Structure 1
Amino acid sequence: MSTVQVSFPISSTPSLTQKSAPVQAPAAPAAGPAHSALPWANGLLAAAAWLGLAALTALWPNKEIGFSDWAYTQEFAVSCAVIAGVLLVIAFAGERLGAFFQRLKPAGPWLVAGAVLLAIWQVLTAKTGVLPPPFFAPPQSLFEVFIDDASRLGLSTAHSLRLLASGIGIGALVGFVTGVWVGWSRLAGYWVHPLLRFLGPVPASALLPLAFFFAPSSYSAAVFLIALATFFPVAVLTWSGVANVNKSYYDVARTLGASNWFLVLRVAIPAALPQVFVGLFMGLGAAFSVLITAEMMGVKAGLGWYLQWAQGWAAYANMYGALLVMAVLCSGLITLLFTLRDRVLVWQKGTVKW
Structure 2
Amino acid sequence: MSSADRHAAAPALAAVEKRFSAAAERGFSRAALASTAAATWLALAALTLRWPDVGEWGRGSELAIAASVIGLCLAALACVEFGAFGPAATARAAPLRRLTPWLCALGIAFSIWELLAAKTGVLPQPFFPPPQAILEVFTDDYAKLAESVLASVKLELLGFAFGASAGFLIGVWLGWSRRFGYWVHPVLRLIGPLPATAWLPIAFFAFPSSWSASIFLIGLTTGFPVAVLTSSGVSSVNTAYYDVARTLGAGRWFLVWRVAVPAALPHVFVGLFMGLSASFAVLVTAEMMGVKAGLGFYLQWAQSWASYANMYAALLVMSAMCAGLITLLFKVRARLMSYQKAEVKW
1:26 matches 2:17? no
Aligned to 1:196: 188
Distance 1:282 1:235 in 2: 11
1:303 matches 2:290? no
Aligned with residue 337 of structure 2, among 337, 345, 351: 345
Aligned-residue offset at 1:150: 0.8
Alignment of structure 1 residues 27-42 onto 2, 5 Å: 28=16, 40-42=31-33
| Structure number having the greater helix percentage | 2
> Considering only aligned residues, what root-mean-square deviation do their CA atoms show, in Å?
2.3
Distance 1:214 1:197 in 2: 22
Distance 2:150 2:69 in 1: 30
User: Are the counterparts in 1 of residues 159 and 216 from structure 2 also a CA contact under 8 Å?
Assistant: yes
State which structure, 1 or 2, has the greater radius of gyration over its C-alpha atoms.
1
Aligned with residue 125 of structure 1, among 92, 117, 125: 117
The aligned amino acid for 1:26 is A
Aligned-residue offset at 1:259: 1.8
Aligned to 1:82: 69
Aligned-residue offset at 1:37: 8.1
Deviations, residues 289-328 of structure 1 (Å, cap 9, x unaligned): 0000000111111001101111111111101110110011
Aligned to 2:221: 229
1:51 matches 2:38? no
Deviations, residues 55-106 of structure 1 (Å, cap 9, x unaligned): 2222222113xxxx21111211111011111122233335635776332322
Alignment of structure 1 residues 267-346 onto 2, 5 Å: 267-346=259-338
Change in CA separation of 1:339 and 1:269 when aligned onto 2, cut-off 3 Å: same
Which has the higher mean CA deviation after the structures are superposed, 90-99 or 126-135? 90-99
User: Are the counterparts in 1 of residues 168 and 227 from structure 2 also a CA contact under 8 Å?
Assistant: yes
User: Are the counterparts in 2 of residues 171 and 227 from structure 1 also a CA contact under 8 Å?
Assistant: yes
Of all paired residues, the percent bearing the same amino acid is: 55
After superposing on structure 2, the runs of 4+ consecutive aligned residues of structure 1 that deviate more than 4 Å are: 29-32, 34-39, 97-100
Distance 1:157 1:237 in 2: 30
1:115 matches 2:101? no
The aligned amino acid for 1:83 is I
Aligned-residue offset at 1:253: 2.0
Change in CA separation of 1:254 and 1:282 when aligned onto 2, cut-off 3 Å: same
> What is the count of residue pairs matched by the alignment?
327
User: Are the counterparts in 2 of residues 37 and 92 from structure 1 also a CA contact under 8 Å?
Assistant: no
Aligned to 1:11: none
User: Are the counterparts in 2 of residues 37 and 93 from structure 1 also a CA contact under 8 Å?
Assistant: no
Distance 1:173 1:105 in 2: 41
| SS in structure 2 of the partner of residue 348 of structure 1 | coil
Deviations, residues 181-207 of structure 1 (Å, cap 9, x unaligned): 101111111111121112100111111
Aligned with residue 62 of structure 1, among 53, 56, 72: 53
User: Are the counterparts in 1 of residues 40 and 111 from structure 2 also a CA contact under 8 Å?
Assistant: no
Aligned-residue offset at 1:252: 2.2
| SS in structure 1 of the partner of residue 53 of structure 2 | coil
Aligned-residue offset at 1:177: 0.8
Which has the higher mean CA deviation after the structures are superposed, 35-44 or 212-221? 35-44
Aligned to 1:9: none
Return 5+ residue gaps in structure 2 as ranges.
Answer: 1-6, 82-86
Aligned-residue offset at 1:47: 1.1
Return 5+ residue gaps in structure 1 as ranges.
Answer: 1-21
